[in-house]
Amino acid sequence: MKFFKPANLNDFFEITAKIKKNIYFLAGGTDINVQIKNNLLSEANIIFINNLPELKGIYQENDQIVFGALTTFRELINSSLVKKHLPLLSDNLQNFASPLIQTSATIGGNIANGSPTADIMPLLMILDANLIIAGKAGSHQININDFYHGYKQNKLNKGEVIKEIRINRDALTDVSTFYQKVGARKTLTIAKVTLAGLMKITHGKIEQINLAVGSLNEYARRLPQLEAYLTGKTKQQINLEKLKTILAKEITPISDLRSEKEYRFSVCLNLIRTFVE
Ligand SMILES: Cc1cc2nc3c(=O)[nH]c(=O)nc-3n(C[C@H](O)[C@H](O)[C@H](O)COP(=O)(O)OP(=O)(O)OC[C@H]3O[C@@H](n4cnc5c(N)ncnc54)[C@H](O)[C@@H]3O)c2cc1C
């Protein structure tokens, strides 16, 4: 196993260009150190990215709130900018892991690791967050809802890194929101089901609704068919059987040591009903 420690992004691009394969990044290390410790990455080239200044900080740029990918969960929770404009994030990530893990774990790492249970994903998905991906040839933007294509599979190419996460500063204006992570306990728990929701009601009708779930498919995702069904409806027009049928098409819960698939389906349905009804 080899370690590299770039001082800035240019340095990072130089190093990654010279390595042919088995490249892994170490940001906060809370996921990857577990793999290193268990000898799962013996041939790995580990690039320590925690020094890259271009990936740090939370700030406002025009109408966007920008999070460097190295932002830790503790920094996010404590940020006055986030509390002011995007309290959905600061309020609901309070119980992420434990206080100790929060000081190391980065949001870029949570996104890149891509676990279906990762806490931040459903929130970023309903907020339509954009990821800025940096590579030697330049940067490009990809919406978080288009970033995954399989279990822990994302669209990063070799030598690319998540640089920033950008969210519209006014994403929460005039909307009601919902977030619930259901686990065995409140903290230090892996989600069995997570639902995040954002809804705008006009004249008693749902004008816009964004719903995203975690732990119910091979990666977290929005529920576009359900969103389409609910849009334009009043509470009274929502048909429970129809809701169930659509949900069954959009989620594929599994049974594992944490819970049964039937339980996961029912909990998800109940959370959606709690939010929309
Ligand atoms: C005790 C414990 C409790 C936990 N509890 C929770 C929890 O409650 N909820 C939850 O969601 N997770 C939890 N986790 C998992 C973990 O803390 C998070 O996934 C964390 O956000 C990972 O970030 P990191 O900086 O530590 O990533 P690292 O371990 O440094 O990296 C993880 C992966 O992401 C890649 N990567 C990192 N940064 C970037 C980047 N900027 N661009 C591209 N790729 C990148 C790396 O190559 C690596 O493959 C827990 C972990 C532990 C050990």
Residues 6+ apart with CB under 8 A from 84: none
User: Smallest Cα–Cα separation from 215: which of 149, 146, 263?
Assistant: 263
112 exposure class (CB count in 10 Å sphere: 0-12, 13-18, 19+): buried
Question: Is residue 150 located within the same domain as residue 206?
Answer: no
Q: Is the CB of 75 under 6 A from ligand 1?
A: no
Question: Is residue 113 located within the same domain as residue 142?
Answer: yes
Q: Is the CB of 31 under 6 A from ligand 1?
A: yes
pLDDT at 189: 84
Question: Is residue 181 located within the same domain as residue 156?
Answer: no
pLDDT at 96: 94
Q: Tell me the CATH number at 119.
A: 3.30.465.10
Question: Is residue 160 located within the same domain as residue 195?
Answer: no
Q: Is the CB of 93 under 6 A from ligand 1?
A: no
Q: Tell me the CATH number at 191.
A: 3.30.390.50
Q: How far is the CA of 192 from the centre of ligand 1 (A)?
A: 18
Of all protein residues, whose CA lies closest to atom 4 belonging to ligand 1? Answer: 97
- Report the alpha-carbon angle 96-132-36, nearest 5: 50
Whether 184 and 95 have beta carbons less than 8 Å apart is answered as no
Question: Is residue 9 located within the same domain as residue 115?
Answer: no
pLDDT at 35: 92
pLDDT at 109: 98
Query: What b-and-e string marks burial along 236-272, b requiring 16 or more CB atoms within 10 Å of the CB?
Result: eebeeeebeebbeebbebeeeebbeeeebbebbbebb
pLDDT at 255: 83
The Cα-based distances of 120 to 17, 116, 154, 232, 261 in angstroms read 30, 10, 16, 28, 22
Of all protein residues, whose CA lies closest to atom 36 belonging to ligand 1? Answer: 109
Q: What is the CB neighbour count within 10 angstroms for residue 155?
A: 12
Q: Is the CB of 109 under 6 A from ligand 1?
A: yes
Both tokens of residue 55?
């990936």
Domain of 224, in residue numbers: 176-276
DSSP letter, residue 216: S
Q: What is the pLDDT of residues 26-43, one digit of tens each?
A: 999 999 999 999 989 888
Please give the number of the atom of ligand 1 that sits closest to the Cα of 27: 30
Distance of CA 88 to the CA centre of its chain: 13
Last residue of one domain, picked from the residues 13, 33, 48: 48
Residues 6+ apart with CB under 8 A from 275: 178, 195, 197, 199, 211
Give the SS3 label for residue 26.
strand
Please give the number of the atom of ligand 1 that sits closest to the Cα of 31: 29
Q: How far is the CA of 97 from the centre of ligand 1 (A)?
A: 11
Both tokens of residue 3?
């370690």
Q: How far is the CA of 264 from the centre of ligand 1 (A)?
A: 24
Please give the number of the atom of ligand 1 that sits closest to the Cα of 34: 53
| Domains held by the chain: number | 3
The Cα-based distances of 211 to 82, 107, 113, 227 in angstroms read 21, 20, 22, 7
Residues 6+ apart with CB under 8 A from 219: 114, 116, 121, 148, 150, 151, 152, 153
Rounded CA separation 2/86 (Å): 39
Q: Is the CB of 161 under 6 A from ligand 1?
A: yes
User: Helix 240-250 vs helix 261-276: angle between axes, to the nearest 10 degrees?
Assistant: 130
Distance of CA 238 to the CA centre of its chain: 29
Of all protein residues, whose CA lies closest to atom 3 belonging to ligand 1? Answer: 97
Residues 6+ apart with CB under 8 A from 218: 116, 150, 151, 252
Last residue of one domain, picked from the residues 168, 197, 212: 168
Of all protein residues, whose CA lies closest to atom 2 belonging to ligand 1? Answer: 97
Q: Is the CB of 113 under 6 A from ligand 1?
A: yes
Of all protein residues, whose CA lies closest to atom 11 belonging to ligand 1? Answer: 118
Last residue of one domain, picked from the residues 48, 64, 84: 48
User: Smallest Cα–Cα separation from 216: which of 86, 77, 117?
Assistant: 117
Point out the residues of the chain with pLDDT beneath 70.
none
Q: Is the CB of 27 under 6 A from ligand 1?
A: yes
pLDDT at 256: 84
Is this prediction's pTM over 0.85? Answer: yes
Rounded CA separation 59/40 (Å): 37
